[in-house]
Structure 1
Amino acid sequence: MTRTQWAAITAVVLALVFAGTATVASAARDDGSAAGTRTPSSASADAGFARDMAVHHQQAVEMSFIVRDSTDDEDVRRLAYDIANTQANQRGMLMGWLDLWGLPKVEAGTDPMAWMADGDGTGDMEGMEGMDHGDAGHEAHDGSLMPGMATKSELDRLREARGKAAEILYLQLMTDHHKGGVSMAQGCVRLCANGTEKSLAEGMVAAQESELALMADLLAERGAKART
């Protein structure tokens, strides 16, 4: 088995392990106090993260299905399958929690990432400063609603690309996407109150950082590198 295969397997196993344990993590993390057991409010970091990461994940799933049909390369197709499968499952958990909490899946009048703003309004954007799509001044444009998200124009380019060109563009877009996702998940680890959700966010960080290393290797094999 190649290093690429091992890396891909490691990433998806990490994600599935953390996602699975997240369903029972509250028993270990929550101590029965009001802070541990109360239902999050609609304006909480818990609800904001669930809403925003569900949208963020949906685009990763979409990009992965696009590249799956644009290349015959087994390494990239395997990575795309792992990302699509893991993030679709995690998205289902996030949306399920919103249902369980009796909260809307879309909060009208609330900007994406508003839950990451701290008390003085400056925001909790640690780790996002150097990203083209993910700095603290990110503004929604052309379908890029949050840090790391591809624009509609970039998605159109991905749909049109084939073979090696599609592989490189996908890996570059997904690298940006994961960097934004990791920063969002780290924000939940710092700000979310629900122990179950914090466990899932920790799993996202571990899995996506592993996949970032794998994607850097796959880009290098193709004579390319990340855009940021």
Structure 2
Amino acid sequence: MWGIAVLAALFLISAGVFVGTLLDGPRSEKQDPPTSAPSEVDVGFLRDMQTHHAQAVQMAVLIRDRTDGEEIRKVALDIELTQQQQIGQMYALLASWGEPQSNPNPMAWMTSDTGAGDTGDPHAGMAEMPGADGSAMPGMASAADLERLASLRGMAAERLFLELMIAHHQGGIPMATAAAKDADESWVRTLAQSIVDAQSAEITALQAMLDDRGGPLG
């Protein structure tokens, strides 16, 4: 059960940092409001992370309907609420710049120049990284994975959910690390770093929960 406490604390911290910035305004030079001329990294990250988060929310909703396990249901609800909130923040920033929400070239912003593959995170590289042509986003579950999750119930569903969410986090961390390093806007860097910090620790908690349930479903 320790996983719930760890995840809850991390979710509250990561959400609170950025929400406080949005509501309270800048508190230092590093917290300046967004400008009218964001960079390709700013815009690309916000668009792609919205899509990435949306799938995490989808998986969280799926598992909550397919298990009575209290621990998993609480973790899934935390993921759902936190990532929905961050999607709203990212949507609002893009709207404030007059930028479209969708990305016609997913991941094109994340090249070797943004630090891809050099994250310094122990989990980086564990999820397959896409090419800059945007053929896929790192860590995303396939349609077949989601169909399989939807078909399962109980412990089997829990194990697959944890396996997919760990891979999802492992793929999202390099994206957020690149934005935390190379985004022009301090607001974007703040959000990206909060995602890096929270999801890096969440992987450990989710892995412990998966191990307690017998490991990957296979």
TM-score by length of 2: 0.87
Of 110, 113, 120 in structure 2, the residue corresponding to residue 116 of structure 1 is 110
Q: Distance in 2 between matches of 1:175 and 1:6?
A: 17
CA contact (8 A) 1:18 1:202 kept: no
Whole-angstrom CA distance in 1 between matches of 2:4 and 2:157: 20
Shift of 1:136: 4.8
**Does residue 92 of the first structure (1) align with residue 88 of the second (2)?**
yes
CA 1:68–1:90 in 2, change beyond 3 Å: closer, same or farther? same
Q: 103, 107, 117: which one pairs with 1:125? A: 117
Q: Tell me which residue corresponds to 1:52.
A: 48
1:148 shift after superposition: 0.3
Q: Which residue of 2 aligns with 1:210?
A: 201
| Aligned counterparts, 1:12-91, within 5 A | 12-23=11-22, 24=24, 26-30=26-30, 38-41=35-38, 44-91=40-87
Letter aligned with residue 37 of structure 2 = P
> SS in structure 2 opposite 1:116?
coil
C-alpha displacement at 1:39, in angstroms?
2.1
Q: Is the 8 A contact 1:25 1:195 kept in 2?
A: no
Q: Within 2, Cα distance between the matches of 1:159 and 1:221?
A: 22
Query: Any idea what SS the aligned residue of 2:49 has?
Result: helix
Offset at 1:17?
2.0
Distance 1:53 1:31 in 2: 21
**1:22–1:197 CA contact under 8 A, matched in 2:** no
| Displacement of 1:15 | 2.1
- How far did residue 116 of structure 1 move? 1.2
Gaps in structure 1 of 5+ consecutive residues: none
Judge conservation of contact 1:58–1:88 (CA < 8 Å) in 2. yes
| Contact 2:50 2:87 (C-alpha < 8 Å) held by counterparts | yes
Please state how far the C-alpha of 1:181 moved relative to its aligned partner: 1.1
Helix, strand or coil at the partner of 1:115:
coil
Deviation at 1:25, TM superposition (A): 6.3
Q: Which residue of 1 aligns with 2:102?
A: 106
Is it true that 1:192 corresponds to 2:183 in the alignment? yes
Q: Is the 8 A contact 1:148 1:176 kept in 2?
A: yes
* CA separation of 1:37 and 1:96: change in aligned 2, threshold 3 A: closer
Q: In 1, distance between residues paired with 2:30 and 2:134?
A: 36
Give RMSD over aligned pairs.
2.5
Instruction: Report how many residues are paired.
Output: 214
Determine helix, strand or coil for the equivalent of 1:112: coil
Partner of 1:224: 215
Structure 2 gap segments, 5+ residues each? none
Letter aligned with residue 146 of structure 2: L
With normalisation by structure 1, the TM-score equals: 0.84
Contact 1:25 1:199 in 2 (8 A): no
- Indicate the percent of aligned positions where both proteins have the same amino acid: 33
Q: Distance in 2 between matches of 1:9 and 1:197?
A: 23
